[in-house]
Amino acid sequence: MDKISDEMIEQLANLIAEKTLYIHKEVLTSDEAARYMGISRSYLYKLTMRMEVPHYKPRGKMCYYNRKDLDNWLQTNRISSRTEIEDKARAYCWAHPMPTFKTRKRRNKE
């Protein structure tokens, strides 16, 4: 069985620390926010300049991002699944039945 080198253990520890950092940190820098969101830093910059993503500039230069704000923003514009749409359509049709031919004919006579 091969021994794991100290260098490999250190690399693994750094990787774990980097991946779990976002779980505990409330405020993220631009680099951290881009990695957290899985987008490039330049795309995050574009979103920030267009004022599409919530951000903070406490001193007017550096941008900071609240992790919870990013989570909320990432979950906007939800697309319903086919099953959800079908269920809503079925419920609507059940609650608002189409008039039958006999009903239409009766209404016209009145």
pLDDT at 104 over 70: no
- Kindly give, in sequence order, each residue whose CB lies less than 8 Å from that of residue 32, ignoring residues fewer than 6 positions away: 21, 22, 25, 65
Q: Find out whether 49 and 10 touch, Cβ atoms under 8 Å.
A: no
Is this structure's pTM higher than 0.85?
Answer: no
Please determine, for residue 109, whether its predicted confidence score (pLDDT) is greater than 60: no
- How confident is the model over 3-29, as pLDDT tens digits? 678 888 888 887 777 767 667 789 999
The whole-angstrom separation of Cα 76 and Cα 70 is 10
- Write down the residue that tokens 């599409």 correspond to: 52
Q: Buried b vs exposed e over 4-22: b needs ≥16 C-beta within 10 Å?
A: eeeeeeeeeeeeeeeeeeb
